[in-house]
Amino acid sequence: MPERVFLIGPMGSGKTTVGRQLARRLGMDFLDLDLELQARCGVEVAVIFEIEGESGFRQRESALLDELSRRDGLVLATGGGSVLSAENRRMLTERGLVVYLQTSVDQQLKRLERDKQRPLLQAPDRRQRLTELAEQRDPIYLSCADLVVRSSSISPPAMAANVARRIRQHIDGAQVS
C-alpha cells in the first residue's frame, strides 16, 4: 500500500464519506482537509471565505496541505478546489497516490441537495454552478490522478471497497512493470 492516499474530486463526490471507510479498510488514518482547517481556525470554511476571500482560504489550504501531505499512513480527502494551485498538484502527485472520485453533476445535486455550508455552492442555479466548476476542474483532476474511480450511487462501504480494490490493482500493476 502507498504511504499516503489523496482523494480529489468535486464536492459531493464522496471524498469524506468514502475516505473514512477507505482508511479503515487500508488500516490508515483519515483526515479531511477542509474539516481540519475548520478545526484549526475555529470557524467554518464559509466564514474564512467571507473574511479572507477565496484567495485567503486557498493560502491557508495550501499551507495545511503541505503539512498533512507529509504524514505517513494517511488517507486525505482534499477540498474540491485544492487542485487549482500548481504547487498543490505537485505536492499531491509527488507525495502519494492520487485518486480522483469522478461524479456527475446530477449525482452532486442529489448528494448536496440540503447543503447550505459550501460557499461556492451558494448560487441561484446550482446545476449551472456545478457544471461550470466541472468544466474548469475535471481536466485538472484528470491531469494529476493516478487512478480515476467513478463515484456511483452504490453505498459508501461498497464504494470504499471498490477504491481499495482499484488501489491494490494499481500497486500490483506498478510492481509488475
As annotated, the binding site for substrate includes 34, 58, 80, 137
In the annotated binding site for Mg(2+), the residues are 16
Of 1, 42, 8, nearest to 23 by C-alpha is: 1
Contact of 149 with 14, CB cutoff 8 Å: no
Residue 45 region, left (φ>0) first, then alpha (ψ -120 to 50), else beta? alpha
Backbone phi, then psi, for 146, in 5-degree steps? -80, -35
Residues 6+ apart with CB under 8 A from 101: 7, 8, 9, 13, 14, 15, 18, 149, 151, 163
In the annotated binding site, the residues are 12-17, 34, 58, 80, 118, 137
In the annotated binding site for ATP, the residues are 12-17, 118
Separation CA 75–CA 68 (nearest Å): 10
Using DSSP's 3-state secondary structure scheme, residue 43 falls into coil
